[in-house]
Amino acid sequence: MDEKTIIAKRIAQELRNGNLVNLGIGLPTLVAKYLPAGIQVFFQSENGVIGMQPLPEPGAASDALTDAGGSPTSIIPGAAAFDSVTSFCLIRGGHLDVTVLGGLQVDEAGQLANWMVPGKMVPGMGGAMDLVSGAKRVIVGMTHTAKGAPKILKKCTLPLTSIRRVDLVVTELAVIRPTAEGLVLQEVADGVSVSDVIAATEARLIVPPSVPTMQLAA
Amino acid sequence: MCKLTAIEEAVAKIPDGASLMIGGFMGVGSPHRLIDELIRQGRRDLTVIANDTARPGVDIGKLIRAGAVKRLVASHIGLNPETQKQMIDGAIEVELVPQGTLAERIRVGGNGLGGVLTATGVGTTVAEGKQTVEIGGRTFLLEMPLRADFALISAWRADYYGNLSYELTARNFNPVMALAADTVMAEAGEIVPVGLIPPDQVETVSVVVDYLVARSN
């Protein structure tokens, strides 16, 4: 299983029946593919729709129906479309149960940086700052390291997306839960030891006496 | 009163240096023809307020490529490297605004309100130079209203008065921008006789629309 699949499958287990969920562009969109059987959630896209699903078949695209990256998508019966004001009322107003976002860095305070690298990449924050500030639950899905360098740091060196503490960080190596006391190592991936995770992490990790292995569907 | 206007005549009312709100989200629900006409007429030094600049050479990306934009207020330019390059080269001044904050700043600009208090951006670079307000133990940023000289918006369907309805994710910033500019130009995919849009389906009311143009000839 490649690292993105591990991350997406593990995050999919966090979704509950009836949740309103926003998936960021990139890795987080994979989460939709691995919803556990029997779980129905509603996917929101910040460009103005609830009830998004992948395109059912080629040729069924509409110019007026895309995801937040501008790619064609489709919707389930019972879907709703709305303008950007309403979309962000849902996001900021506590109506969005879960947002899943990619990350560049997360630190010991559980703060996320994911919107710019000064001097190199300045894409703009899009909806990320509103999503992290307003969603009931924020899950970060990212690779544990970038070119071997840790992304889970004592303190973020990149500009923060929000000062809000995120709720869960899922990587191909581990599941980490930020708390008021610090980052708790909640699970390790199959074949990965606690010391492997510590070695790949700059931040201090709180390691419980027993750390279970991530359980993923085949 | 019929608002239908020849596109050349409508766009000729926009001077160089004007501020424009332009609807659309990655080119979806953008006023394609109004943008093309702005370029054909060679407009320069524009301030553009929009969610994004689409992709290189597409919709608002055409204005960027043409060098028509002096200042940009947007939430995301990540899918248009040409915008990023012009920003880094100093050819274009860019103000990046969180998307929800952008929507609300435009909303209050069109609603006669004095500002927005939002938790979005508190403690980040977005907060630099801005006033914060404590309410109920929470910290909020004061974000200021946005208005423009012109709003260029895109609708699915219009009647000749300029009542508008929209389609799916082509709605996005269009309805809110239609309230926040001194002059509103709407481009519609279909223009129907007055009375054919049921009152319950009118999302932008005709009184705010000044000029109506057809998307196709």
pLDDT digits over A114-128, tens only?
Answer: 999 988 888 999 999
What average pLDDT score do residues A194-215 get?
98
- What is the reported pLDDT for B135? 97
Tell whether the model's pLDDT for residue A56 goes beyond 80. no
Residues of A within 8 A of B25 (CB-CB) are 47-48, 66, 68, 70, 84
Measured between CB atoms, which of B26, B121, B123 is closest to A69? Answer: B26
Percent of chain A at pLDDT above 90? 87
Which CATH fold topology does A3-206 show?
A: Glutaconate Coenzyme A-transferase (3.40.1080)
Q: Is B99 in Cβ contact with A46 (below 8 Å)?
A: yes
The pLDDT value recorded for residue A58 is 82
Task: Compute the nearest-CA separation of B190 from chain A (Å).
Answer: 14
pLDDT tens, A150-178?
999 999 999 999 999 999 999 999 999 99
Which residues have CB under 8 Å from B100's CB, separation 6+? A87, A88, A91, A92, A127, A129, A130, A134, B118, B120
For B8, the token pair is 């050349």
Contact B169 A64 (CB under 8 A): yes
Q: How far A41 CA sits from the closest chain B CA (Å)?
A: 20
* Chain A contact set for B51 (CB, 8 A): 84
| Domain identity same for B210 and B139 | no
Q: How many CA atoms lie within 13 A of A117 on its CB side?
A: 6
With respect to residue B7, please indicate whether it lies within any of the assigned structural domains: no
Same domain, B67 and B90: yes
Structural domain including B168 reads: 16-96+147-214
Q: Which of B74, B126, B168 sits opposite A62 (nearest CB)?
A: B168
Can you give the pLDDT at residue A119? 82
CB–CB contact A45 B169 (8 Å) = yes
Residues contacting residue B130 through CB under 8 Å, at least 6 positions apart: B121, B141, B142, B143
**Structure confidence at residue A59 (pLDDT):** 81
Q: Which residues of B touch A162 (CB under 8 A)?
A: 120-124
Number of domains in chain B: 2
Residue A46 annotated in active site: yes
Q: From the CA of B100, how many Å to the nearest CA of chain A?
A: 5
By CA distance, what is B82's nearest residue in A? Answer: A123
Instruction: Please check whether residue B67 lies inside any domain of the structure.
Output: yes
Domain ranges of chain A: 3-206
Tokens standing for residue B202? 């009118």
Q: Exactly one of A46, A108, A172, A187 is catalytic; name it.
A: A46
Residue type, B14: I
pLDDT of residue B217: 65
Contact A47 B25 (CB under 8 A): yes
Per-residue pLDDT of chain B in tens (217 residues, 90 and over written 9): 899 999 999 999 999 999 999 999 999 999 999 999 999 999 999 999 999 999 999 999 999 999 999 999 999 999 999 999 999 999 999 999 999 999 999 999 999 999 999 999 999 999 999 999 999 999 999 999 999 999 999 999 999 999 999 999 999 999 999 999 999 999 999 999 999 999 999 999 999 999 999 998 6
Q: Is residue B3 part of a domain?
A: no
How close, in Å, is residue A77 to chain B by CA atoms?
13
Q: Is residue B103 part of a domain?
A: no
Contacts of A92 in chain B (CB under 8 A): 100, 118-120
B22 vs B8: CA distance, rounded Å: 18
Distance between CA atoms of residues B32 and B29, nearest Å = 8
Contact A83 B119 (CB under 8 A): no
The reply to whether B151 and B135 lie within a common domain is no
* Position B101 in a domain: no
Q: In what order do the strands lie in the sheet with A49-53?
A: A74-81, A49-53, A42-45, A20-23, A98-101, A137-141, A168-170, A174-179, A182-188, A205-206
Are B187 and B90 contained in the same domain?
A: yes
Residues 6+ apart with CB under 8 A from B16: B43, B44, B45, B46
**Do B167 and B88 share a structural domain?**
yes
The answer to whether the beta carbons of residues B169 and B136 sit under 8 Å apart is no
In chain A, what residues touch B120 (CB-CB under 8 Å)? 92, 129-130, 133-134, 162
